[in-house]
Structure 1
Amino acid sequence: MTQNPHTENPIDSPAPINTDTQTDDKLLTHQADSPNDKHKRIVKTFMKRRTHMNKNAELALTDPEFADYIVNNSFGDGDLKGIHDLRVLFANSPNGSDAPLTLEIGFGLGDSFIEMAAAEPTRNFVGIEVHEPGIGKCAYMAGTQALSNVKIINGDAIQLLKQLPENHIDRIQLYFPDPWQKKRHYKRRFVSPERMAIVTRSLKTGGWFHTATDWEHYAFWMLDVLDHFDGLTNQSGAGNFADRPDFRPMTKFERRGLDRGHGVWDLIYIKD
């Protein structure tokens, strides 16, 4: 258990601004799906960025050999219609639909996600991401390793969670989410009371919500939100961060940051 080493809470101080991530708010909202809320603007927690797609990722998005890994290969649409149960995706797999189930939100290029799935073959893993290069690369890695416990979904994690049953998932992972450094963008941070209500609804009793960040301001923001959220208990005790668990692989970016003296903070919460 890692004790809180700070005497002052960084969430009370202004966050630094990274001008490389500045965006227009108009690009980060969309209309609500409900007819009754057609004029309501929904705040997104992500922005689709243009990134290079290598040949392997492109192959996995187009070759039928990898089709079983991508649940909704919609080439950018992120259509989640019909996805109301993650366990049924594994009904015909060696593990079956009753195996422990992990959902990872925003797996990036999928390296650590696939490493975790390969390390725990008796656990089923579903990853959801909005960036096609990452989706393609993740599917390619899963296919070349012949993993049978991986499924990938293209789309908005919050919308997906709203569609899932209650008490459905054993673990939900959110590693290195966008910290939205500008104060006026704090509302876009994934960890908020409103979004955590959606997340915990789908978690089983005793299930985990595990998040990690290398942005100190966001780390203390999440600690404050989660410690005061009814229905979740801090595994390390209120006010404390967790040691990085062995099952979470260290990415090359995380290792590079640590080499430069940057911090990384893990938080694990259990559903009461």
Structure 2
Amino acid sequence: MFPDGTGPSADPAGSHHERRIRSFQPRRSRVTSGQRAALRRLWPQWGFDIDGMRRIDLAELFADPGRPGTVEKSAERAGQREEERPVVLEIGFGMGEATAEMAAAEPETDLLAVDVHTPGQGNLLRLAEERGLTNVRVGNGDAIILLREMLAPECLSGLRVYFPDPWPKKRHHKRRLIQYEFLDLAAGPLRSGALVHCATDWEPYAEQMLDVFSGHPAYENTQLDGGFAPRPAIRPRTRFEEQGLEKGHKVRDLLFRRV
């Protein structure tokens, strides 16, 4: 779609990494002219492909000389920020409306948003530009490769996974993202005290998430009763969530902290 390199790649990791069961399926839907224009204009500055071939320098990725709290790097402090800003990773942001809303509400926090849906990537970039958001960066590709190959240890202040594919059929449960192995992997880039926030409207998946998090020694439930959390005000309701509520689904939030 972007042969001149001005937009996200169709398969950024290519053959560099092993083929395995994935928790996502790329959706083939039309990219609007506005989304395409945003990708061409903004991707070189605010987007990156998850190719697994390099370690990301978050200070450089989010560098913006015009933003309060950001300073130019010196040779002695490469990869560091004098006034370090928290970075939160969001895996799967859909069309990006909720992500843009959270970024606007948290200007002091940098949001690293990852998805494989090209129209959503373009829409989030468009929203960020329209609202003057300088704290959003968009990653294209597999979040597993990002966590495993491209993020430094203890570089993230938070992780958000909202409404991941529930893979409701029993034979597909192995494709669910939130599993013990995923929590093992995420524990590396998450610093102590980092907040992990998940939400789903699929009750069996919610119960699995709660069991997996509760059984992992690297995470502790923020709820004293060991159960689900009330929806935090910072998480906006999305169209997808509203559709689930209309169907009678109960939305569950989980808030765990990296030990």
Aligned to 1:235: 222
- How do 1:1-272 and structure 2 match up within 5 A? 33=16, 41-63=19-41, 65=42, 67-72=44-49, 78-93=50-65, 94=67, 95-96=69-70, 97=81, 98-163=84-149, 164-237=151-224, 239-272=226-259
Number of aligned residue pairs: 232
Residues 193, 238 of structure 1: CA spacing in aligned structure 2 closer, same or farther, 3 A cutoff? farther
**2 CA distance for matches of 1:43 and 1:184?**
12
Give the deviation of 1:68 after TM superposition. 1.5
Percent identical across equivalent pairs?
39
TM-score by length of 2: 0.83
- Partner of 1:42, secondary structure, is coil
Give the deviation of 1:183 after TM superposition. 1.1
**1 CA distance for matches of 2:53 and 2:99?**
24
Gap runs ≥5 in structure 1: 1-29, 35-39, 73-77
Higher relative contact order (Cα pairs below 8 Å, separated by 6+ residues): 1
**2 CA distance for matches of 1:140 and 1:31?**
27
**2 CA distance for matches of 1:80 and 1:32?**
10
**1 CA distance for matches of 2:52 and 2:120?**
18
**1 CA distance for matches of 2:96 and 2:240?**
13
- Partner of 1:205, secondary structure, is strand
> Would you say the 8 A contact 1:69–1:142 is kept in 2?
no
Gap runs ≥5 in structure 2: 1-12, 71-80
**2 CA distance for matches of 1:80 and 1:60?**
25
Give the deviation of 1:256 after TM superposition. 3.4
Give the deviation of 1:83 after TM superposition. 4.3
Residues 66, 32 of structure 1: CA spacing in aligned structure 2 closer, same or farther, 3 A cutoff? closer
**2 CA distance for matches of 1:85 and 1:49?**
29
**1 CA distance for matches of 2:103 and 2:116?**
20
Residues 150, 234 of structure 1: CA spacing in aligned structure 2 closer, same or farther, 3 A cutoff? same
RMSD of aligned Cα (Å): 2.0
